[in-house]
Structure 1
Amino acid sequence: MKRWALALILPLLPLMAKADEGMWLPQLLKTLNEADMQARGMKMSADDIYSVNHSSLKDAVVSFGGFCTGELISPEGLILTNHHCGYGQIQSHSSVENDLLTNGFWAMSKEEELPNPGLFVTFIVRIEDVTKEVLKGATPEMTEDERQELVAENSDAIIQKTTAGTHYGAKIKSMFYGNEYYMFVTETYDDVRLVGAPPSAIGKFGGDTDNWMWPRHTGDFSMFRVYSAPDGSPAAYAKENVPLKPKHFLPINLTGVEDGDFTMVFGFPGRTQEYLTTYSIKPLVETTNPNRIKIRETKLNILKSDMNKDDKVRIQYSAKYARVANYYKKWIGENRGLKVTNAIAEKEALETKFQQWADANPARKAHYGTLLSKFEQTHKEEQDVILPYNYIREAAYGTEILSLAARFRGLIDAPASEREKRVDALKAYAKKYFKDYNAPTDEKVFAALMRLYAEDISANYQPEILQAMNKKYKANFENYAAHFFGKSILDDQQKVEALLNDFNEKSMKTLLKDPAIKLEREFRDIYIGKVGDVMRNTQNALERLNRSYTAGLREMLPNKTFYPDANSTMRVSYGVVDGSTPYDGMRYTSHTYLDGVFQKEMAGADDYVITDRMRELYADKNYGRYAENGKLPVCFTASNHTTGGNSGSPVIDGEGRLIGLNFDRSWESTMSDIKYDKDICRNIAVDIRYVLWVVDVYAGASHLVDEMTLVETKTPAAEEATAE
């Protein structure tokens, strides 16, 4: 009777991979996805997307700096990525006198392209399943620490064997919480030069007002070029280097896209957690996210105020502000989305069915029967420390002075034989750090965040210094901050450089007495002694439980196609151009146009700035060859499953041609890191025609467009569909 009832229940379960959901490993597309992708409009084969035997789309897609995605769009190494991905580099070349952030930048020759020390791009050479080799010797009786140590040893041996005698790198990544392991063999190029960026009025149009929102009118792109040694191999920056000749670059489709057209996003999504249980989601929604939002909002208000008052501070803090604001707003949208779609109730229903399935068979009950109760117990064990854990990360180390103090810890704790090397590293870091540092701003942030820590965290997790200062200054944290910064040397570039330039035993004593060093060490001691071990133990336990849970789900639903959570490895997602219906009575269309830029200006927000050049071109309707029915396309949405790290990813049509550049999700979609909803979740892309219009018509950098391969005719299939 139980089996009969279960047979009725299982078809009603939420699918693990709904339509348009999924971040798929490219080497598995042939087996898992090719037929579905072709049924939805893809004209290519899986081999055209990923191959180790010939050039394929994977050879045109790079990890940009390890935090974004980029794509090759010319045979001369030209790379396209987001404006916000290149923002740090653009800022590094900016000053009050030469403000590239505000004015934009275009290299009119290769000689004018700007080097970016520390920036790199990484290609994927091949991907291999190494699960058996990685887990060789693993047993169920091992503790999680023992298992991880074995996995690390086996992985190191595999990587060493793979890369020995080559210039390639490799990394092995866990999938499904350690049920599977894949090796990614890589090739990294370190000479990446800035070629072009629109002014912020285009690249950041809408700013924080529009971040994570739709409709969108942002030209979020920038251009770089990757250089190689003359023989094509990776090389550090050198004048004799030459533009890379890529194995593949993306041709560009100028015919545009319509609702229902196939789209594919290829990139390096950062992190998703699609298989979390409700025991993890509830504290995230109820405690972690609200407190992280509170801390970041406090910090953002201070940064924004100071940036508005001083152009130098604005340039110094533009990239920092954007980083803090990005996830601040994301967490707000994530909480809203999870609540609106009843994600917790849906997950609870799945867990109920899982428990019924486990209990229906003695062997399964022995293996999975107590799994969910163990999740519950493990989360109870971390309940007391989760708040101080997040406050130490967001509030304590959300201040720049304590973050700098943490870097000095490495020098203080180093043996004498290592000190010279640590001093040299700090000298280099300090030079870059103080270029974008304003002590009065940091002092205000410090006062505000220490107040939050003192008010919201129990005394058991508060540094003694903080408690003493709170009492001494009668909770006046502005006075405490003034005293703190007045006594510390870590807010003063000249004092820090003087100390490092003649570092000796007296210098060490100076550091040990510095209030920033002392307070940071107390925060660190609390983390290690009271928080860190509990978090590490519970996270290890959850890793093991999640490994069993995902294995159980796959066993329970053998006909469903599962995908591993994103973990900054190369993935493919696919869907169609489409609008969305996030709320009752609301329908978003899928495209925006330049007209909307001027309509938004009427709202009067500071984030809606339009340049004089844009006004002239709009008035003349000078759209070059990039218009559609007399209108200039700007952005579009599609149902591709994306997350952080997909910024800069190419949006590709069914023929393998570039149609847009992924840069965001709608606010309602931010929950897709935990739960994807086919009616709500949409990625946002800047239309490639808007990108080319800005480069060609607006900026006059037509030589860059001349490098590209532009396709201006529809395929026969598309023409037939249009005729019908």
Structure 2
Amino acid sequence: MWMPSQLPQLDRQLREAGYAGDPATLADLTAAPLNAVVRAGGGTGAFVSADGLVLTNHHVAFGVIQYNSTPARNLIDAGYVAADRAGELPANPDFRVLVTIGFDQVTDQVLGSARGKRGRAYFDAVDAASKQVVAECEREAGVRCSVANMYNGTDFYRIRQLELRDLRLVYAPPRSIGNFGDETDNFMWPRHTGDFTLLRAYVGPDGKPAAFAPDNVPYQPPSHLQVASEGPHEGSFAMLAGYPGTTYRHRTAAEFAEQVQWTLPARVEVFDALIAAIEAAGRQDAQARTLYASQLQSLKNNRKRAAGELDGLRRSDAVGQRAADERDMLRATARGDRRELEALDQVLAQASAMRERDLLLGLVVSQSQLLRSALVLERLRIEAGKPDPARETGYQARDLALIEGTLKQVQRRYDPAVEQALLGELLGRYQRLPDAQRLAEFDAAFGRTPAELAAALQSLYAGTALGDEAARMAAFAAARQGAALPADPLLQLAARLVPAQLRLEDERKARDGELLRLRPVYMAVLAGWRAHQGRPLYPDANGTLRVSYGRLEALQPRDAVTYSPLTSVAGILEKHTGQVPFDAPQPLLDAIARGDFAGTADASLGTQPVNFLTNLDTTGGNSGSPVLDAHGRLIGLNFDSNWEAVSASWWFDPRYKRAIHVDMRYMRWLMDQVYPAPHLLREMGLDG
């Protein structure tokens, strides 16, 4: 996962791999083709027209599709094609597209006042300097800035991004195409999924980013990708650009061991329980099924990812290999560095002592809607009384529009019975923790027995008015001014719980300060060891733009098993049962039967391609990343990894790591022959 600035150093390797362009041009992420690649929601996307069409995954845009769906007008199942611009539907208010317009090193500015400090003081110095960098950067209207930590606290970069807030749904295939195979096929190969959606970015009449308004106009991107007229074959060069979320490949041997021995098994178990709770409610209530469709899909994906990661790390013996690598590294480590590395291990052990509590309480917030809203509002009320630079990240003036958008869309994602079921499961597990991991505030609020918990939740949700948007907006208006919040049971609960959250946050920041100070020592030792072996080092993924290159390559996951890297519509017919999740829609079946694949067929297959496999390096956040050919043309859209490679967020094993992509020939054929959108094909420069 190379930083663009590293690519000129790989000139020879890129050219030998088959890249036909000049690698030096890839160093500038504000120039074509990389400036066409954007952050889209929780994943990646790319501009594919001069009028702001954004191509991303169906699952990345799933919240947008759900936001516009009701039981009576279910766009999740039916799909959607906007006949014209007037028919394009507004996205949920918190969906964003971020266009990177600047990337600059600010290490000295961020670390200048931190040097010589420890613990919380080190954290606060880095935090204050980062906020200052962001505040100065965001004086420019419509720009969203951040500071990215590279090489685990060694280097820092300022990222400037244009924040596009008005996104609209243009084209989405039905679920039975966009999510064909669902969890059965998730992380599996072969795949036959049309996981793509088209959105359009809009700006104000003055050309600047703006919230949704009827008179907004399509955004004119600095460049856009051209869909290739022909597709790839086995061995073809492929290059992917995107915004991978987080990888942990440079973590310590102790962290690797904990991930395999505790963290991943614990996640699988709790995700299973949450999935069961939502599915049980959905079987009896169609409305709840629609409201929680996106959250359920996310939980299933995370559950399967955790299980696959565990399986892959064990298969690669990542724990043993990292331990062996670390022993080799430490043999050449100076005594002073060794003391710092021992201190690093001690800080990590402190965090491990409270790991189960932290997992559960984190999920209490992330998996609830109303309780999370109440906690956010109470925290905003507290932060609003501070000068803006001193506020916690996420509660500054720059964050108010996003908080407001999140609060507004609760209505589309909340059911009181489902939320109580989820909280009952999580807090019930919390009640069984040993006393050393318990918090007095949570015990007082929810009791220490299942009966007390059930009674507390029933009382809270029967009495709260936060399920009403007007009530949330009234509380938001008060919170942003630092005024007293309305007398609501959930808000009163939040006032009792937030002090406990703040106490935990203080402890975490002290640990994080030490980790920020100590991890660069580990990274320096690792970099020196890798350099001695002649192996270059890229930073772990952190949400910044990265590039991977390679080729279409077959997979041999087990003895005597080989998978070719291309699938076709023939596989759809083989899998089709007429029952979810293998219920291919009739228009698709009819089009396959007609066999009209002119201009999009693969001669080697003799039929219509669907998905393809590469050896590119991807992880979460790379969903929706464009895949380019040797000339920089769009040939695919990343949407998944194979089961054997889910562990790549921690350990890259080239024997098994593959990425799965939608073939652009399939997208083009669907938009031409199955769910026609000739006006969009023309806009993308393709024949209708």
Q: Is residue 2:305 matched to residue 1:330?
A: yes
Q: Is residue 2:374 matched to residue 1:405?
A: yes
Alignment of 1:366-377 (within 5 A): 366=336, 368-377=337-346
Deviation of 1:596 (Å): 1.4
In 2 relative to 1, CA 313–43 (structure 1 residues): closer, same or farther, beyond 3 Å?
A: same
* Amino acid aligned to 1:547: P
* Equivalent-residue separation in structure 1 for 2:418 and 2:177 (angstroms): 28
1:695 to 662, 667, 671: 671
Map of 2:515 onto structure 1: 542
Contact 2:671-2:678 at 8 Å conserved across structures:
yes
Deviation of 1:399 (Å): 3.9
Per-residue CA distance 1:341-377 (angstroms, 9 max, x = gap):
100110011111111111xxxxx233x2234433332
Tell me whether 205-214 or 428-437 shows the greater mean CA deviation.
428-437
1:455 to 425, 432, 454: 432
* Amino acid aligned to 1:601: H
Per-residue CA distance 1:182-231 (angstroms, 9 max, x = gap):
22232233332211100111111111222222221111100012234556
Over the aligned positions, Cα root-mean-square deviation in angstroms equals 3.5
* Amino acid aligned to 2:640: D
Map of 1:390 onto structure 2: 359
- Name the SS for the 1:102 alignment partner: helix
Q: Is residue 2:2 matched to residue 1:24?
A: yes
In 2 relative to 1, CA 160–668 (structure 1 residues): closer, same or farther, beyond 3 Å?
A: same
- Name the SS for the 2:302 alignment partner: helix
Deviation of 1:164 (Å): 5.2
Per-residue CA distance 1:379-414 (angstroms, 9 max, x = gap):
322232111111111246534443233134247758
Map of 1:87 onto structure 2: 62
* Amino acid aligned to 1:323: S
* Amino acid aligned to 1:387: E
* Amino acid aligned to 1:451: G
* Amino acid aligned to 2:655: D
Map of 1:122 onto structure 2: 98
Alignment of 1:182-261 (within 5 A): 182-229=157-204, 232-261=207-236
* Amino acid aligned to 1:673: S
In 2 relative to 1, CA 699–450 (structure 1 residues): closer, same or farther, beyond 3 Å?
A: same
* Equivalent-residue separation in structure 2 for 1:502 and 1:150 (angstroms): 31
Map of 1:45 onto structure 2: 22
In 2 relative to 1, CA 220–228 (structure 1 residues): closer, same or farther, beyond 3 Å?
A: same
* Equivalent-residue separation in structure 1 for 2:569 and 2:80 (angstroms): 22
Alignment of 1:286-305 (within 5 A): 286-305=261-280
Map of 1:608 onto structure 2: 582
* Amino acid aligned to 1:74: S
In 2 relative to 1, CA 103–524 (structure 1 residues): closer, same or farther, beyond 3 Å?
A: same
Map of 2:390 onto structure 1: none
In 2 relative to 1, CA 457–613 (structure 1 residues): closer, same or farther, beyond 3 Å?
A: farther
* Amino acid aligned to 1:543: L
Map of 1:15 onto structure 2: none
Per-residue CA distance 1:122-144 (angstroms, 9 max, x = gap):
222232233344444553x2224
- Name the SS for the 2:640 alignment partner: strand
Map of 2:525 onto structure 1: 552
In 2 relative to 1, CA 150–455 (structure 1 residues): closer, same or farther, beyond 3 Å?
A: closer
2:409 to 432, 449, 457: 432
Contact 2:245-2:622 at 8 Å conserved across structures:
yes
Tell me whether 295-304 or 108-117 shows the greater mean CA deviation.
108-117
* Amino acid aligned to 1:655: H
In 2 relative to 1, CA 503–404 (structure 1 residues): closer, same or farther, beyond 3 Å?
A: closer
Tell me whether 162-171 or 604-613 shows the greater mean CA deviation.
162-171
Map of 2:616 onto structure 1: 640
- Name the SS for the 1:609 alignment partner: coil
* Amino acid aligned to 1:540: G
* Equivalent-residue separation in structure 2 for 1:154 and 1:379 (angstroms): 25
* Bigger Cα Rg: 1
Contact 2:191-2:567 at 8 Å conserved across structures:
yes
Deviation of 1:275 (Å): 0.4
Deviation of 1:45 (Å): 0.9
Deviation of 1:540 (Å): 2.6
In 2 relative to 1, CA 301–268 (structure 1 residues): closer, same or farther, beyond 3 Å?
A: same
Tell me whether 111-120 or 625-634 shows the greater mean CA deviation.
111-120
* Equivalent-residue separation in structure 1 for 2:619 and 2:477 (angstroms): 46
Per-residue CA distance 1:657-688 (angstroms, 9 max, x = gap):
10100011112212111111001111111111
* Equivalent-residue separation in structure 1 for 2:659 and 2:367 (angstroms): 29
What TM-score results when the alignment is normalised by the length of structure 1?
Answer: 0.84
In 2 relative to 1, CA 169–697 (structure 1 residues): closer, same or farther, beyond 3 Å?
A: same
In 2 relative to 1, CA 414–476 (structure 1 residues): closer, same or farther, beyond 3 Å?
A: same
Alignment of 1:620-699 (within 5 A): 620-629=594-603, 630-699=606-675
Alignment of 1:62-101 (within 5 A): 62-65=38-41, 67-101=42-76
Map of 2:392 onto structure 1: none
Map of 1:715 onto structure 2: none
Map of 1:311 onto structure 2: 286
Contact 2:642-2:657 at 8 Å conserved across structures:
yes
Contact 2:168-2:201 at 8 Å conserved across structures:
yes
* Equivalent-residue separation in structure 2 for 1:240 and 1:702 (angstroms): 25
Q: Is residue 2:151 matched to residue 1:176?
A: yes
* Amino acid aligned to 2:675: A
* Equivalent-residue separation in structure 2 for 1:370 and 1:127 (angstroms): 35
Deviation of 1:577 (Å): 0.9
* Equivalent-residue separation in structure 1 for 2:624 and 2:406 (angstroms): 28
Tell me whether 548-557 or 158-167 shows the greater mean CA deviation.
158-167
Per-residue CA distance 1:59-105 (angstroms, 9 max, x = gap):
2111113x211111122222100111111111111112221111111
* Amino acid aligned to 2:13: D
Map of 2:557 onto structure 1: 582
Contact 1:252-1:711 at 8 Å conserved across structures:
no
In 2 relative to 1, CA 231–533 (structure 1 residues): closer, same or farther, beyond 3 Å?
A: closer
What TM-score results when the alignment is normalised by the length of structure 2?
Answer: 0.88
* Equivalent-residue separation in structure 2 for 1:496 and 1:225 (angstroms): 32
* Equivalent-residue separation in structure 1 for 2:25 and 2:127 (angstroms): 33
* Amino acid aligned to 2:290: I
* Amino acid aligned to 1:709: G
- Name the SS for the 1:249 alignment partner: coil
* Equivalent-residue separation in structure 1 for 2:309 and 2:102 (angstroms): 34
Per-residue CA distance 1:263-302 (angstroms, 9 max, x = gap):
1111111111110011112222222222222222111112
Deviation of 1:521 (Å): 5.4
* Amino acid aligned to 1:46: P
